[in-house]
Structure 1
Amino acid sequence: MVITGASSGIGLATAVELARGGDELVLLGRDAERLRHAVEAVREVSKRTPAAYRADFALLDEVYEVGTRLAAERERVHVLINNAGQLAAVRRPTADGFDPTMQTNHLAGFLLTHLLLDRLRETADTDGPARVITTGSAAESWGTLDVRRPGRRQLSRWLAYGASKQANLLFTVAAARRWSPYGIVPTCFFPGLIRSRFGRRSALFSLVGVVPVLFRTPARGAETLIWLAREAEGLVPGGYFAWKRPFGATSRSTDPERAERLWESSLAATGLT
């Protein structure tokens, strides 16, 4: 299983629990020190050292490099968990010219998934369904996503975050239409409000942080993700889940036509054909 954003929060909690169950993991993270800590945490519960790769998803060249390397070193990828996320200021675009939140949360995962697509298909051909799971959010409801220009600068980081979460769902819809005939099952999930470094920077935390009980631990937030990675009930192409049950989303985030337009513009943005 390949997990992005594996060095903290939900990604780390997921890695530890999957390792406890005996799964072989590949961890991706941006911060080298936190990634080393994640490797140690996984090794402690599994007695095995997971593969780990440092990559900054705000740099598409690094995503391309790590994706190409993984594809060369792995014969199969049974599960790809696109969990890396960021809530960035909008003052400056990335080196690739895109809104940093949209690039980290959508475009980088879009690129990585395509780079590993042959490995996912090989898994589906030989071992049964392969899974692509993306961490979404109820923030999709306030997103202002221009599907023709997904990387354009947003007016605020909150709008950028919501737009990126719309993109996560639309990616799942379009990927399911394309890839489910090959045995690849794309799904998306909402973990709830999480008590983590990322959660403390969110608008929702600012609004309701005075009521800590409303926030879940990363381990609790990871429960649906782990369920989607392991259980047959999660094999619903294009499904959106929370608390291990189907979850509703706005029509803007599930519209097949918008999903197709976003797909084409994301191909162009990431240099894919």
Structure 2
Amino acid sequence: MKTALITGANSGLGLATARALAQRSVNLILLCRSERKGREAQLSIQQANPAVRVDLITADLADLASVRRATVQVREQYDTLNVLINNAGYTPARIEFTPEGIEKSFFASHIGHFVLTHELLDLLKKSATATEPARVVTLSSAAYLGGRTSRFFRRIETLSPTLAYCDDKLANLLFAKELAKRTAGQNIVSYSVHPGAVKTNFGADTPGFLGKVFALVGPLMRTPERGAETSIFLASAPLKAIGERNNGAYFADSRPKTTYNGDITDEKAAWLWEKSLVYL
């Protein structure tokens, strides 16, 4: 039986992904910031398939000490980890900065997931085989189009929540791309995902232009179940169906897609990785 860890699994895409994997007989570790919401999700997922193990670990991706405590817990309690889905993310209602001077949503979405993944790499490698590699699926978005690496790691007081979100999603895509390169030959595959425009609570408190966009397009958005399909595909489909040459690729609608942002280069991906290493 495989085991998958999903961040932000208490609602929306994460919850839909967890339920679907439970129905595919995958044991689950739910990494959630809120214990109360996590417990509610845990019960809901367990009902989807009482035969699987569903555990909850609480952690705040914007707090690296919290992330490290969670990874110690995972390594102590589990002998295998086959799939890591870096799903959690949010659109900030207002721009805030961490004590490190990094915009908070970027810190949680990229740096938090970077540290989480790094701390679990040995367990992923240990769980992988030549025929069934461990998988890391990182949620990005078509919003990567508006992202710029020149804003990464900078304290920009005038940054808008919209552009902060775009930067987060570009970082997620670049991280997935570089992870594939750094783990080549180690039986780990890495992908980034655009789930489509999904109707969840995501962005519900977002002010300004982006909040109006979310409100206007809400009726046209996909359900979380539909939006989770690509993550589920990458987490569970045979590698042949995904395509071995697509390691590191950006996927939408369960297919690899061409990206259109001049900052998506091997050099920028390597630069982001090196800049992120200071937080380990």
Aligned residue for 1:37, secondary structure, equals: helix
Aligned residue for 2:128, secondary structure, equals: helix
Question: What is aligned with 1:131?
Answer: 135
Of residues 229, 233, 243, the one that matches 1:223 is 229
- Tell me the distance in 2 between the aligned counterparts of 1:212 and 1:157: 19
Matched letter for residue 64 of structure 1: R
Aligned residue for 1:229, secondary structure, equals: helix
Of residues 197, 204, 221, the one that matches 2:201 is 197
Conserved? CA contact 2:128–2:134, under 8 Å: yes
The more displaced of 249-258 and 133-142 is: 249-258
Does 2:43 correspond to 1:40? yes
Question: What is aligned with 2:272?
Answer: 262
Conserved? CA contact 1:76–1:122, under 8 Å: yes
Does 2:34 correspond to 1:24? no
Aligned residue for 1:219, secondary structure, equals: helix
Q: 1:52 to 1:253 in 2, by over 3 A?
A: farther
Unaligned runs of 5+ in 1: none
Deviation at 1:182, TM superposition (A): 0.7
Does 2:144 correspond to 1:145? no
Question: What is aligned with 1:240?
Answer: 250
Question: What is aligned with 2:59?
Answer: 55
Question: What is aligned with 1:79?
Answer: 83
Conserved? CA contact 2:148–2:263, under 8 Å: no
Question: What is aligned with 2:10?
Answer: 7
The more displaced of 192-201 and 129-138 is: 192-201
Conserved? CA contact 1:172–1:187, under 8 Å: yes
Aligned residue for 1:193, secondary structure, equals: coil
- Tell me the distance in 2 between the aligned counterparts of 1:59 and 1:102: 12
- Tell me the distance in 1 between the aligned counterparts of 2:111 and 2:29: 20
Deviation at 1:94, TM superposition (A): 1.9
- Tell me the distance in 2 between the aligned counterparts of 1:95 and 1:162: 22
Q: 1:217 to 1:151 in 2, by over 3 A?
A: farther
Matched letter for residue 232 of structure 2: I
The more displaced of 2-11 and 64-73 is: 64-73
Q: 1:70 to 1:152 in 2, by over 3 A?
A: farther
Q: 1:227 to 1:73 in 2, by over 3 A?
A: same
Matched letter for residue 264 of structure 1: E
Unaligned runs of 5+ in 2: none
Aligned residue for 2:184, secondary structure, equals: helix
- Tell me the distance in 2 between the aligned counterparts of 1:34 and 1:77: 23
Please give the TM-score of this superposition, normalised by the length of structure 1.
Answer: 0.91
Matched letter for residue 132 of structure 1: V
Matched letter for residue 145 of structure 2: S
Conserved? CA contact 1:101–1:157, under 8 Å: no
- Tell me the distance in 2 between the aligned counterparts of 1:193 and 1:262: 26
Aligned residue for 1:132, secondary structure, equals: strand
Deviation at 1:34, TM superposition (A): 1.0
Deviation at 1:70, TM superposition (A): 1.1
Matched letter for residue 49 of structure 2: S
Matched letter for residue 39 of structure 1: Q
Deviations 1:50-105 (A, max 9, x none): 11101111111101111122123222210000001021245431244321110111
The more displaced of 187-196 and 80-89 is: 80-89
Matched letter for residue 11 of structure 2: S
- Tell me the distance in 2 between the aligned counterparts of 1:32 and 1:226: 24
